[in-house]
Every structure is written in C-alpha cells, then in structure tokens.
Structure 1
Amino acid sequence: LQAARILLSNVDCPPYSVDLVISSPSLPGYISETKKRRHDIGVALLLTSDSEFLKDAYNLLGPQKHKAFNDYGLTALSQAVITKNDEAVSFLMENNADINAAVPPDNNAQSCALSNEFSGWSPLSWAVAFQDIFATNKLLEVGADVDEIYMIQETPLKIATMIGDSETFARLISSGSNAFSSSKCYDSLQCTIRNLGSPSALAVAAAFGRREFVSIMLSQSRLSDSSKNDLSLTDFLNEYNTDVRLNDSYTSGDSNSKSSFKRLPKIIQKASQEAIYYAVETARSDIVMQFKQLGVPWNIYTWTKCLQVGYDNHDRTTMMNVLKDFSSRLIDEITADIIDDTVAILFDVIRYETRQSDGKPVVVAKIISKLNEKFTRDNLDCVSQSNRSISVIESG
C-alpha cells in the first residue's frame, strides 16, 4: 500500500501512523513475539497519560516488569522519562520499578548502535539529558545511583556538565557524584578497537569551557582518603592562595603549588592532568592556566600545544606564562620524533615577539639554545658511540 501510494498517482492510501513503541519484526506465532507484543502494548498504554490504564498496562510488561527492557535496552521508566510523562514516572516508581536499570551493552544486533552509544545510561541519565527537573529530583530523592561501575559511558554529572545545566549539576555534586572518576582507557596496550568510556567530569568541564563548574568541583569536593598526608581540595586551595600571597615571585608560588599538588590523592592528580589535556585540545587557555596555578605539571605535548593556541590567538599573556614554565624535565621528554613541531612553534613565537614594540624574543631564544645544546650533545654522544663500536670491530 505504501508503495502504491507513492508510485501510483490515482491510488490514495494514507501513510502509516507512527507511535512511540519501538518494535522489531518477528515470525508470527512465536511465543517471544506474543510476549513482546504484550510488552509493547503495555508501554504504549503507560505512555498515554491515562491513569485509568496505568495498573493494567504495568501488568502487561510481564513478570520482570520492574526492569523489563525493550529492543533498545530501555525500561518503561526510561521511556516515561524520555517522553516527560510525569504521571507514568510517578506511577512506575511507586510500584517498585527499578530506578537504576541501565541500557545494557550489546543488547542484541538491532540495538547495538544504541547500546554502544548509551551503555550504562540509567533513568537518571535520561532525566538529566532531557533536563527534566521533576524526574531528576524524584529519582534523586529515592536514592538513584549517581556514580556506579555500570555507567561505562557518561555519568549523570558528566551529562549535566556537557549541557551546562548548573542547577542539576549542583544537585548532583551535593548528592555525592564523583567529579574525578574516569572510565576512559589511555593505555594503547590495554585498549580494544571498541574503546568505550568517557573522561572525568572535571575533564568534560574543561573541554566544554565550563570554568565555573571546574571551580565548583575543585572547591566543594572532598577527598575520600582519610590519610593525614592528604588535603581536602578546599584546604589545598586555601594553602595555595596563602603561598602565593607570601611569595612575590611567580617561580616561588609555582613551586609551592606543585609541592601541594603532589600531596593530593592519585585519582585527583590523574583527573587534573586529564582535564588540562582536554582544555589544551579544545583551546581553553583560561582553564589551562587555572589548572597550572594549582600545580598541575606540563608534559611536552600539552606545553607545545598550549603555546600554539596562545600564538594562534595572539595571546601574549598565555604565551609568556607557558614559556616561563619551560624546564629541564620538558627538555628530557623531547625526542627526535617531536622536536620538529616544538621548534617550529618556537620560531613562530620568536618572529612574533620581534615584531612587538615590547617583545621578549630573548625568552624564546634561551629555550631554543637549550634545545640546541641537548641535541648537539646527543648527536656527539651518538658519534662517539659509533666510533667506539667501529674501533672494537677493527681491533677484533
């Protein structure tokens, strides 16, 4: 009929209606088909917002109705949240629907696209994503998970950070959501082709330029480790601010902040280093400098990339701060494979500085000189080693 409607001008057949039930074809007469149709009808009735059918519709979902999934890994509660059906959400929660039933990974062949993209998304995740304040508050009130290992993709806090929902973000932080946990694998030896996971909420905030979110995470979060050697982040920030006031020089203040940073738990150090990487990759120089004030160390890649961002934006303040941070540790990280990129941006910057009336090309020239010394020395060592090898061979 559909083909006739489209191809034959004299045949007027109305198009099929589209409903909210997600279904897949199956052979008639199968028991699984009957159960599936009952489930689909039950979900459709639940989403009609007709209170008269809610109880009967819920019973149609079958014996596992509290956490029955459709073909796409969505429970009735998740679908009610997605369609913003507050009445159905309330009814399902009052009748013991699983508030944490999340989209499972690799549900089946048809739903793999949804499962891969949204694995671990719970009803709370959908509520946050659709900015449904009613469902979000109701789920948090009854103790919905805000951080669990099954959330292999984004947690609700990461979703709120992405969309910039400050009210929900603050609510999740106060509910104990972890801003520093990352499910992303960065070890190439351990990662598979299907590398799932997401960076920490702190890194997400840095990537999206949510500077106020970054500040909240750093100032309001508390450390779980009770070791006396660890500081709360609030104490850490206060201590750093005191150090800066007591030290006039940039170097001295930076040294104190680095010392305090190393005393933080590994999970926060790792999240901060991850965040500065994402901030650099997305050209968020202001957030990069915010992390640098906390003592987060550079590696040669982030240092070079941030210098490039400053140069591209003609941001001399950022360029000078980055150049001042160059150290012998960064020199040791440079190899022959990456020296070209580093030297190229340094020469771009030195040419830029020479054109400024108050330019400071000497700062850049010193770094280039140090790099020249390193690679000249390395080349001489290589030549010396080669000569010794030749001598040994000839004497043999």
Structure 2
Amino acid sequence: MTSSISCCEVVKILNPESYDSINVSAERLPLQYTGDLVSRAMHHLQPLHIKNPSNGTPVHQKTTNTTVHWEPEALYTLCYFMHCPQMEWENPNVEPSKVTLQTERPFLVLPPLMEWIRVAVAHTEHRRSFSVDSDDVRQAARLLLPGVDCEPRQIKAEDCFCATRKLDAASTEAKFLQDLGFRMLNCGRTDLVKQAVNLLGPDGINSMSEQGMTPLMYACVRGDEAMVQMLLDAGADINSEVPSTVNKHPSVYPETRQGTPLTFAVLHGHVPVVQLLLDNRANVEGALQDGAENYTETPLQLAAAAGNFELVSLLLERGADPMIGTMCRNGISSAPLGDMNSYSLAAAHGHRNVFRKLLAQSEKEKGDVLSLEEILAEGSDPGEKRLPPQANGGGTLRTGKARLRALREAMYHSAEHGHVDITIDIRSLGVPWTLHTWLESLRTCFIQHRRPLIQGLLKDFCCIQEDEYTEELITHGLPLMFQILRASKNEVISQQLSVIFTQCYGPFPIPKLTEIKKKQTSRLDPHFLNNKDMSDVTFLVEGKPFYAHKVLLFTASPRFKSLLMNRPAAENTCIEISHVKYNIFHLVMQYLYCGGTESLHIRNTEVMELLSAAKFFQLEALQRHCEIICSKNITTETCVDLYKHAKFLGASELTAFIEGYFLKNMVLLIELEGFKQLLYEPSPPESPVSSPGMCSDILHDLEKTLAIRIRSIHLSTSKGSVV
C-alpha cells in the first residue's frame, strides 16, 4: 500500500531544513554539487511501503540490493537540460521566417530537481535497470520540457539483464551464458561471432533478449556494418520481428514491437546498413505481409517522418509503398490511425523535399492512373469511370482514388502543424480545399505575416463548397478573417475579404422590417388636431403653440405621461419642446390623433428627424414605420450616414438591416472612402452622431450579423429561410 503524500511533503517531513536545497529549479547548478543533491533526493524518493505501527506514519523500507544509482553521463545530461534554452522566432516579418536559439528560459518555468529525478527513475525501472543513464534523462526531458523532442532511445544489450527474476540454477546458468554471448556480439568483435553463437542457447544466432531483440537487431541499432554482414553470413534471420507479447520477453519496449532489423537501421539513420539489408533481400516494408493490416510504422514511414531524404530515396527505389498507413488497435476494434502514411508523416513534420520525392516517385509509377483533375471531375467515386480492366491493370482506378485520399490527409496534417508551403504544394496538384485546412493555412500565414500567401488563400475561398460551411466557419473562420481585416488595411486583402463576406451572406434578400400592429388605447377625432377649442395642454415648439389633449397623450407613451405629470392643475398647461421642429412635431401628433401611419405623408428629407422624434417620444410603431422607409430608400451613398444615425439612436432593427446591406454590397462599398473611414477610423468624441465605442465595434457587429446569417442559411434545419 503506497503512501498518498507527495515527494515534496516527504522531504519536509523527514528533513525540513534540506527541502529548500533539494527543490531547486533551473538555477545555474555547478556540476560538483549536482551529484550530492541527487543523492540526497534519491534517499527521500525511496519507496514508503511500511507504516510505523505506533502512529501510522510512513517509514523507509529497507532496500539494500535495489538501490538505483546515477551514471556520470546522466548527471551531465541533467545539468544540460536544467539550463535548456528555448526555440523562438527570430523575426516573423522576414520571409521565410527563421527559428533560432534565444536566451535561457526563466528558471521558474522549469520543473524542480525532484520531478526530474522521479521521471528519470521511472524510465530506469521500466528498463529493469539499476542505473540511470543519459537516455533516461532525455526521455524525462520529453515529458517535462514543452517542445523538446529528443532522439529515440538507444537500445543497448546491457538493458536486457534482469537481476530480479527468480530462476533455478540451470536457468540462471543458461541466462548468464546468453547474456555473455550478447555482450560478446555487441562489443563489435567479428572474430568472436562463432564463440558467441555457441553461448546464446538453442535458438543460436536468432536468440532474443528480454527486450525481444536479436543480435542482428542490436548490430543494426549500432550501425555496425561489418557485424551485420557477419551475422547474416552466420544465418541470422533478416526479417525477424520483435514479439508483441511480453510473456517470454518482459522488457519489450511498446514502440519497438514488430520491429525488424531494417526498421532499426532506418530508425537510427544508418544508410550503409540499410543498403546491406536490402541487398540481402530484407522485406522493404518491415514486418508487413502482403495483404495484411499494418499495426506499426514501415521503414519508409520512419524515414519520411525523420526527413531522411537519402533513406527515403533508397527505400522507394526498392519498391516501398508510400500509400501504406498505420492501423490503431484498441482491443475492441481496429481503425486507421488517421491514415498516417508516408505522405502524411512527411507533411506533418514539414519535410518538403521528402514529400516532393514521394510525389515524384508516385508519378513515375502512376502509368495509366487517372489524374487528380480527372478524379475530381468524375465525382467522389472515380471507379464509375468505365475503362476496360486490361487497359489499366485492373487496379489503377483504385490507386488514383487512394492517392487522392492520401494527399487530402497529408494536406490536413501539414495545415495542422503550420507547414503552409507543403499545403500549398498539395493544393497546386488540384487537391480541393476543406474548410479546416484552408482556415489553418490562413491562420499560419497571418501569424507569420506572409501577405502574398494570404492573398492567394483568400482568392481560393471560392473553391470551398457551401456544404463545407460548418460551425467552424463561425467560431474560428469569421473571427480570423475580421482580425485580418482590422490588422492589414491592405486594399487587395480588403477587397478579397469583401468578396468572401458577400459570398457567405448569400444571394437571398436582406430580411425585411415589418410594421408593428399596435392599436392605441384611446384616440380623438382628427378634427381636434391642433384645435384650441377644448384643449387642456399647449406645447411650445420653435416658439409656436401646438394645442393638444391630455386624455389622449396620457396613454400614448410613457414619455408624454412623464411630461404631463407633476404639472400644476391649471386649466391649460404649457410645455416647451426643444430639439424637435414644428413640422416634425405636427407629424407625431397627426399619428396620435389619426391612430396610425396611414394618413401620414412623410418626405424623404423628414424621415430621419421623424425617426429621432419617434424614438424620443417612445412611439414604437411610428419608429418602425420610419425605419421601414429608411430601409427602402437606402443607397450606397446614404448607407453610412444612415447607419451612424441609427447606431446613435439605438435603433437595433434598422442597424441590423443596414449591417446586412453592408455585407451584401461590401464589394462596392469597400471602394468608398466614407465606408473605409467607418470601418477603420473612430469618430471624434465631440461628434453628435458618435456613441462611445461605436466605431471600434462596427467590425464586431458585422461579424455577429454575418454569423447569424450563415447559421440561418447553412446550419438551420430549414436552410435558406431567412425572411
């Protein structure tokens, strides 16, 4: 039963005064102090399995023969990583951008020494070893330092010895002789091969260590060409595989399962050894058999991921298939692991020259395979194209379709990892954009300030099918494009974005504003309009009296009610109205006395002032009537001023309509100076039509309006129903 307290708490409990010195971070530790600190930390990291019977506190378990010690190389490696520099962009404005090593990381972001030791020791125990080596520290760095990617673990014969296994005398002797044979073979002495084989046991030259590795595999890992040739001459199985089970081989690394000698030679980049194995007819696809599903990477996949152009070229010459992907098996079902074939791996790691080599090789072998353009022209299933089987070997159509699928997958991975140049290369082959790959490529180009590529991508948006318009376009695409519009202020990019926004808005008309059907609770005969007889309230407008009746105005709107309340109870009340012209006030009263807008005759020059008056007097139906008139009379010359006025009044319905007009006609409007000023230049604070934060929010409001439009057209259950 393990203790639930943390390592740091253990240190505080057992030796509080030493805690601060052990829990150090990436300070500049002199190497001579590192060994002492590690030794003290290792003492506190010993297993705590036994509890004190008196008080239940954990005490150290007595372990005299299982102490893990640190090799000098491991301490050097630990010191290096605790001063690890970081990779940063040198100057993102330079094309192409460069990545260089910059200043050392602030020590606070690095893990403490106790964490380094804990993770490194865990890797050591996984190897069933009693010494922490440099590789263990490197594997710890891969987990603890963000962005650090170390070389693969160096497989060593010494790692296969397991002193904790319970064996009888005969088995112990056989194991000792086998271990001795492996050591003799791994020392590089070809003259000892014959004697070593005699020590390996009944399987001889093809005996496997606890790691499931044969002597030939270890020689391939080291790149010992002479030893590889000697072992092959002695009868070593050139296509032997690391077993997938751990019954007989308990120390098999999960990442080496089904590995072959060729796999290990490629993994460690030993070109002469790879050449030698292929010359001796090693299976170029590793452990993969014809027609079988692949659950591990082929040698070509490993070479493509590593970006080793020479190895990729050699494997392709020997017939390696770049179309082979890796399957993922979870114990219940098997499914492709994202079709991560050689194309995808090269694209995901940004190896452009390797990717082009793979493409060039497939072009040579294509023969009568349909081109990508022909496949796309035929639709989603190119197999429907009627060609005689003898004309194409029977399988070329399937090959063409598989190649298109592989390139689409590679396009996705290159876009995901920010390798936009490879993405553009794939696009130039005729592979269609998906919305996701287009957005990720655009994001990368924007971050790297690559304006020519941004323009090319924006021009290509029209190639994306409307069926691709998903929620991602709203949640990620629109914010990105409007951010580009804010930041660039480039005429070409602004024009291209205008085309995209208009295309996304669609050909359907702008949703119309509708009249508010609202009956007044009381009304008077129009004969009483501005009639002094029987009036009990007088409004003074521009110095002229206007006679009205309280019984009507009290129920007309809350604004009139507040004006009439708290007035002296005289026979006639006089109220002065400012900021409203006499003819506009007359129209307001005419609307109230007639009970509607049917009798109103509003000139185009009066509609904006009447809208303001209706807003002030809180007459919603009259306000909506004015908004409808404005929406019918809107033009490219008047839309900007109309928008500013509607925004100032808070007329949300009219504002939304004008924003729709902006988006639908943005290609024309972006050329007008007034519209560009509206987008980019804030109004002066003293401007009567400016509202706080209005101009800074215009692009945001356009983005929201366009998002609502896209949802109503492309994402709703009744597509196209926008009115």
- Alignment TM class, shorter chain as reference: 0.7 to 0.9
Taking the aligned partners of 1:128 and 1:277, their CA distance within structure 2 comes to: 26
What amino acid does structure 2 have at the position aligned with 1:157?
L
Q: Is the 8 A contact 1:100 1:144 kept in 2?
A: yes
- CA 379–304 in structure 1, closer or farther in 2 if over 3 Å, else same: closer
2:415 aligned with 1:275:
no
Change (3 A) 1:204 1:186: farther
Q: Is the 8 A contact 1:323 1:364 kept in 2?
A: yes
1:38-57 matches, within 5 Å, as 38-57=177-196
Structure 1 residue 65: deviation in Å? 2.9
Equivalent residue for 1:37?
Answer: 176
Distance 1:35 1:338 in 2: 66
Q: Which residue of 2 aligns with 1:248?
A: none
SS at match of 1:144: coil
Distance in 1 (alpha carbons) for counterparts of 2:485 and 2:193? 72
2:347 corresponds, among 206, 209, 226, to 206
The aligned counterpart of 2:202 is 63
Aligned residue for 1:111?
251
Could you say which residue in structure 2 is the equivalent of 1:351?
Answer: 486
Do structure 1's residue 81 and structure 2's residue 220 form an aligned pair? yes
Where does 1:332-351 land on structure 2 (aligned, <5 Å)?
Answer: 332-336=467-471, 339-351=474-486
Q: 91-100 or 315-324: which moved more?
A: 315-324
Retained in 2: the 8 A contact 1:346–1:368? no
In structure 2, what residue type is equivalent to 1:132? H
Looking at structure 1, the residues matched to 715 and 278 of structure 2 have their Cα atoms a distance apart, in angstroms, of: 62
Checking the alignment, whether the CA contact within 8 Å between 2:411 and 2:423 is kept in structure 1 is yes
What is the match of residue 139 of structure 1? 277
Confirm or deny: 8 A CA contact 2:295 2:328 kept in the other structure. Answer: no
Per the alignment, residue 376 of structure 1 pairs with 712
Superposed, 1:242-321 pairs within 5 Å as: 258-259=376-377, 265-321=400-456
User: In the TM superposition, what is the alpha-carbon distance from 1:120 to its structure 2 partner?
Assistant: 2.6
- Deviation string 1:28-60 (CA, Å, 9 cap, x unpaired) is 316554443332222112223334431121132
Contact 1:45 1:53 in 2 (8 A): yes
Partner SS for 2:461: coil
Equivalent residues of 2:305, 2:346 under 8 A apart: yes
Q: Which amino acid in the other structure matches residue 187 of structure 2? A: T
Q: Report how far residue 64 of structure 1 moved.
A: 2.4
Q: Which runs of no fewer than 5 residues in structure 1 stay unpaired?
A: 7-14, 241-254, 386-396
Identity of aligned residues (%): 24
Find 2:263's aligned residue among 125, 149, 152: 125
Change (3 A) 1:119 1:225: farther
Using the TM superposition, give the Cα deviation of residue 308 of structure 1 relative to its aligned residue in structure 2, in angstroms.
Answer: 1.0
From 87, 90, 100, the counterpart of 2:239: 100
Counting matched residue pairs gives 347
Distance 1:383 1:16, change over 3 A: closer
Q: Which amino acid letter does the alignment assign opposite residue 251 of structure 2?
A: S
Equivalent residue number for residue 183 of structure 1: 326
Could you give the per-residue CA deviations for residues 170-218 of structure 1, whole angstroms, max 9, x where no partner exists?
111111111121115599x9568xx979711111221222222222211
* Counterpart in the other structure of 2:634: none
* Deviation of 1:17 (Å): 13
Distance in 2 (alpha carbons) for counterparts of 1:5 and 1:381: 65
CA contact (8 A) 1:154 1:198 kept: no
Partner letter of residue 265 of structure 2?
A
**Matched AA of 2:165:** S
How has the CA–CA distance of structure 1 residues 3 and 59 changed in structure 2, closer, same or farther, with 3 Å as cutoff?
closer
Q: 3-state SS of the aligned residue for 2:236?
A: coil
Structure with more of its chain in strand, by fraction: 2
Alpha carbons of structure 1 residues 383 and 287: separation in structure 2 relative to 1, 3 Å: closer
- Letter of the 1:142 partner, please give it: N
The letter for the 2-side match of 1:178 is D
- Asked if 1 retains the 8 angstrom alpha-carbon contact of 2:455 and 2:492, the reply is no
Residue identity in the other structure for 1:210: H
**Partner letter of residue 218 of structure 1?**
L
Q: 2:182 touches 2:196 (CA, 8 Å); kept in 1?
A: yes
Unaligned runs of 5+ in 2: 1-63, 70-129, 134-155, 383-396, 507-709
Larger Rg belongs to: 2
- Considering only aligned residues, what root-mean-square deviation do their CA atoms show, in Å? 3.7
1:182/1:271 contact within 8 Å kept? no
Please state whether the residue corresponding to 1:325 is helix, strand or coil: helix
Q: Which structure has more helix as a fraction of its residues? A: 1
Check conservation: 1:153, 1:198, Cα contact below 8 A. no
TM-score w.r.t. the length of structure 2 is: 0.43
| Alignment-mate amino acid for residue 48 of structure 1 | C
The answer to whether the 8 Å contact 1:119/1:152 transfers is: no
**Map of 1:152 onto structure 2:** 295
Q: Distance in 2 between matches of 1:318 and 1:325?
A: 11
Contact 2:325–2:337 (8 Å) recurs in 1 = no
The one-letter code of the counterpart of 2:496 is V
